[in-house]
Amino acid sequence: MVQGSSGAATEAGHFEPFLPGLIVLMPLLGFIANGYLSLRHARVSADAVRRGSEFDLGDASSRPSTHTLPTWIGPGVMAGAFLITLVNFSRMLGVHLEEAVVVHYWTWIATGTFSVEAALQLDQLSIIMMMVITGVGTLIHVFSVGYMKDDPGYPRYFAYLNLFVFFMLVLVMGSSYALMFVGWEGVGLCSYLLIGYWFSDREKADAGKKAFIVNRIGDVGFLVAMFLLFKNFGSVDFISIFQGADALTYGGELVTAITLFFFIGAIGKSAQIPLYVWLPDAMAGPTPVSALIHAATMVTAGVYLVARSSVLFALAPFSSAIVAGLGVLTALFAATIALKQNDIKKVLAYSTVSQLGYMFLGVGVGAYAAGVFHLMTHAFFKALLFLGSGAVIHSMHEAYHATHSHEDAQDMRNMGGLHRPMRTTCITMWVATLAIAGIWPFAGFFSKDEIIWYAGAWAGAEGAPYPELYTVYWILALVAALLTAFYMTRMMVMTFHGKNRTGEKEQEHLHEAPPVMWVPLTVLALLSIFGGWINVPEALSAGWAGLGGLLPMSEWLHHWLEPITAQAHHVQEVNLGKYSYYAPFGGGEALWAAISTILAGSVVFLTLQVVSRQKISAVKDDVTELSGFTKVLFNKYYVDEFYDRVIVQPILRMSRFCWKVIDAGIIDGAVNAVGWGSKGAGWLVSMFQTGSINTYAFILTVGVLFVLGASLF
């Protein structure tokens, strides 16, 4: 069953995977169990609906088993999966694993010329992803228990969430691109199901549909890239492709095409320009879903894809430049939109898009470890931000529910001053805000700084193909970082500080989230503080940023991922030479780290001052007329409208044209014309049949004479 790698055993002990199949299987079993409960419950609630009422869940104490069991099954299987992952992780820590360990289960597809195994791959990259998915996933599952407890579809929710984790694990653990694609589309499906979780609401169902279709555009890129790989390597397995990658020409058309098509897939899944439009709409789903799928895990799959294919991307400098360029553009673009959003989840959504842009900048400039690093820290603090906003929304919602008000529970203009009732949430969210703003010593500082640093370092590399371009990237990345600090602080101030605008009566109902919700917040806050310390850059570890060498794990992640990225780095070194140790305008890493953290810190401070003084009125009193660029930003650059006008409507019109004119008109018209033609011809010939015997006799005679005459002459 286990095909160990050849090199691993000799050097430093043997890595024996511990039940890797069970990691994947547990969420699947959770899905089956919760799915069964959900179907059972759905019958009951359907009967209620048919009678014209809604299903009444009743008190928390007297709920049916369909609503008590998922509480244990959902987070339970996640915790189980996390524990097994942890065992594997600790085993892997002990050995120096040079090659991936692949565990085969069965042959999935085999046609004679093409074969792909159902096999799981365990290596340093996949184990990091598994840790993030199961770890953060478990916390979010726990949080969901509190957040969703009064939702009638509780078991269905957990069924979907478990299924999502299953597919996400397949995505990162699959040993081939084909298997990765299974997870890739599977998570898209779960995303679709969860965005449209409250499907009775047309807008939410629409958002789910949009996400699925936009993702499928990306999937086409993934498929084509896979076909190209198969055509040239005869396989889609990671190991054989990366081994064969040496034969590819550096910067060749083939590898450029492959990587660009893969990147199209990544653009779709990771919401980059121009396919980012689905992610903000995806906020229609329950907030923990946004935290898990649309912040921490699924949307980072594109980054994982690029990191996994690091060899290929390193061989394609043009594609890498595109990846980095689109990444940094997205980072800036989404950050500007986030400046003017009032919906708390929309701010976070655009912030996610922006941060994903950073990750692509990282993997685009060849700093694969830095990209993965930011992926990981982002998973911590963005999940925290979403869950925190979830706690806020939960509280706001209950407050409005108690007073039967129909105000918007997600609009920050209705919030303010929430730090008094929701102290823990406020503190933890501030931790995350400082982390995302890139303030030392929070996690985001190290990861974001490393990405920006590498963008600059790439610009100064000896053989850098586009040095000026990378200088621009570096500047844009710095600007976007400052914008991040601004909009996040604005969001925090509008939500937690100043006067409360929720309403007189509602105010009393605002309360802190229950422990089942704030405990995960606290854990994530701790991770957001300390999570960055696993990869303190060497240049900083001895200086102030590393507390003079007191922060222990200098460049740990970097070294950990070395076996994965070594091949790519080798390609880079051969073709590009060494990185520059100076930023484009001089100064070393430590200096720029100091500059960026001081700048970000001052932006946070200034914003705190400015926004706190601004007069913000609740939604129902808000009469602000937007104008100029502010309006453009508020309306998200009108991109959705543009797509609708230029793509969606024309396709619809073309579809109608194809149906009405081509299909029903021309093609079927031709078919019917043949039918009518035959009928007409028959009618014409029938004219000769007069019914008069004389005519027949006459024609007969003439005919006979004709035949006789013909035979005579």
Q: Least CB distance from residue 235 to another protein, whole Å?
A: 12
Dihedral of the CA atoms 306, 311, 315, 320 (nearest 10)? 20
Comparing CA positions, the residue from 313, 318, 357, 317 lying closest to residue 335 is 357
CA distance 21 to 666: 55
Give me the residue label for tokens 């609503």. Answer: 67
Comparing CA positions, the residue from 349, 351, 341, 373 lying closest to residue 448 is 373
> Residues 28, 167: contact at Cβ < 8 Å?
no
Specify the DSSP class assigned to residue 472: H
Count of CB atoms situated within 10 Å of the CB of 178: 23
Which residue, 103 or 359, is less far from another protein as judged by CB? 103
Residue 406 makes contact with another protein by CB under 8 A: no
Residue 556 makes contact with another protein by CB under 8 A: no
Considering only 274-282, 386-394, 583-591, 685-693, which stretch makes contact with another protein by CB under 8 A?
Answer: 685-693
Q: Least CB distance from residue 698 to another protein, whole Å?
A: 6
Dihedral of the CA atoms 396, 376, 312, 244 (nearest 10)? -130
Sketch the per residue contact string, 95 through 114, with another protein: x for CB under 8 A, - otherwise. -----------xxxxxxxxx
Q: Least CB distance from residue 220 to another protein, whole Å?
A: 5
CA distance 242 to 136: 30
CA-CA distances (angstroms) from residue 189 to 161, 201, 289, 429, 601?
Answer: 11, 19, 13, 30, 40
Kindly provide the b/e burial profile for residues 475-505, where b requires at least 16 CB atoms within 10 angstroms of the residue's own CB. Answer: bbbbebbbbbbbbbbbbbbbbbbbebbbbee
Which of 686, 710, 711, 713 is in the footprint of another protein by CB under 8 A?
686
Q: What amino acid is encoded at 348 in this protein?
A: L
Residue 706 makes contact with another protein by CB under 8 A: no
Which of 2, 9, 19, 39 is in the footprint of another protein by CB under 8 A?
39
Considering only 62-70, 207-215, 483-491, 508-516, which stretch makes contact with another protein by CB under 8 A?
Answer: 207-215
Q: Is 653 exposed, middle or buried (0-12, 13-18, 19+ CB in 10 A)?
A: exposed
Which residue, 181 or 380, is less far from another protein as judged by CB? 181
Residue 707 makes contact with another protein by CB under 8 A: no
> Residues 226, 178: contact at Cβ < 8 Å?
yes
> What part of residues 595-654 is at the interface with another protein (CB under 8 A)?
651-652, 654
Which of 585, 659, 676, 706 is in the footprint of another protein by CB under 8 A?
659
Considering only 124-132, 497-505, 521-529, 656-664, which stretch makes contact with another protein by CB under 8 A?
Answer: 656-664
2-3 β-sheet, strand order: 2-3, 101-110, 115-122
Residue 62 makes contact with another protein by CB under 8 A: no
Q: Least CB distance from residue 156 to another protein, whole Å?
A: 9
Considering only 41-49, 492-500, 513-521, 539-547, which stretch makes contact with another protein by CB under 8 A?
Answer: 41-49
Kindly provide the b/e burial profile for residues 533-558, where b requires at least 16 CB atoms within 10 angstroms of the residue's own CB. Answer: bbbbbebbbbbebbeeeebebbbebb
> What part of residues 428-457 is at the interface with another protein (CB under 8 A)?
none
Q: What amino acid is encoded at 706 in this protein?
A: F
Q: Is 469 exposed, middle or buried (0-12, 13-18, 19+ CB in 10 A)?
A: middle
Q: Least CB distance from residue 606 to another protein, whole Å?
A: 45
Q: Least CB distance from residue 39 to another protein, whole Å?
A: 6
Which of 6, 10, 43, 59 is in the footprint of another protein by CB under 8 A?
43
Interface size with another protein, residues (CB under 8 A): 72
Token reading at 534: 């696993």
Sketch the per residue contact string, 214 through 233, with another protein: x for CB under 8 A, - otherwise. --xx-xx--xx-xxx-xx--
CA distance 260 to 44: 50
Q: 441: cis peptide before it, omega within 30°?
A: yes
> What part of residues 258-317 is at the interface with another protein (CB under 8 A)?
none
Which residue, 402 or 661, is less far from another protein as judged by CB? 661
List Cβ neighbours of 453 (8 Å cut-off, separation of 6 or more). 537, 583, 589, 592, 593
Q: Least CB distance from residue 181 to another protein, whole Å?
A: 6
Considering only 138-146, 197-205, 238-246, 358-366, which stretch makes contact with another protein by CB under 8 A?
Answer: 197-205
> Residues 369, 557: contact at Cβ < 8 Å?
yes
Which of 662, 673, 681, 708 is in the footprint of another protein by CB under 8 A?
662
DSSP run (H or E) holding 542:
none
Which residue, 276 or 333, is less far from another protein as judged by CB? 276
Q: Least CB distance from residue 514 to another protein, whole Å?
A: 29
Q: Least CB distance from residue 160 to another protein, whole Å?
A: 12
Q: Least CB distance from residue 677 to another protein, whole Å?
A: 13
Residue 709 makes contact with another protein by CB under 8 A: no
Which residue, 6 or 200, is less far from another protein as judged by CB? 200
Which of 6, 10, 53, 689 is in the footprint of another protein by CB under 8 A?
689
DSSP run (H or E) holding 18:
none
Distance of CA 157 to the CA centre of its chain: 19
> What part of residues 160-189 is at the interface with another protein (CB under 8 A)?
178, 181-182, 184-186, 189
Which residue, 623 or 687, is less far from another protein as judged by CB? 687
Q: Least CB distance from residue 692 to another protein, whole Å?
A: 5
Which residue, 77 or 118, is less far from another protein as judged by CB? 118
Which residue, 178 or 461, is less far from another protein as judged by CB? 178
Distance of CA 574 to the CA centre of its chain: 33
Which of 638, 690, 706, 708 is in the footprint of another protein by CB under 8 A?
690
Considering only 319-327, 432-440, 582-590, 658-666, which stretch makes contact with another protein by CB under 8 A?
Answer: 658-666
CA distance 444 to 376: 10
Which of 93, 647, 663, 673 is in the footprint of another protein by CB under 8 A?
663
Q: How many residues does the chain have?
A: 713
CA distance 219 to 330: 20
Which residue, 693 or 710, is less far from another protein as judged by CB? 693
Which of 12, 93, 646, 658 is in the footprint of another protein by CB under 8 A?
658
DSSP, collapsed to helix, strand or coil, labels residue 427 as: helix
Which residue, 574 or 662, is less far from another protein as judged by CB? 662
Which of 246, 462, 622, 668 is in the footprint of another protein by CB under 8 A?
668
Residue 131 makes contact with another protein by CB under 8 A: no
Which residue, 111 or 711, is less far from another protein as judged by CB? 111
> Residues 268, 275: contact at Cβ < 8 Å?
yes
Which residue, 272 or 341, is less far from another protein as judged by CB? 272
- Left (φ > 0), alpha (ψ -120 to 50) or beta: where does 404 sit? left
Sketch the per residue contact string, 230 through 259, with another protein: x for CB under 8 A, - otherwise. xx----------------------------
> What part of residues 559-588 is at the interface with another protein (CB under 8 A)?
none
Beta bridge partners of 122: 101
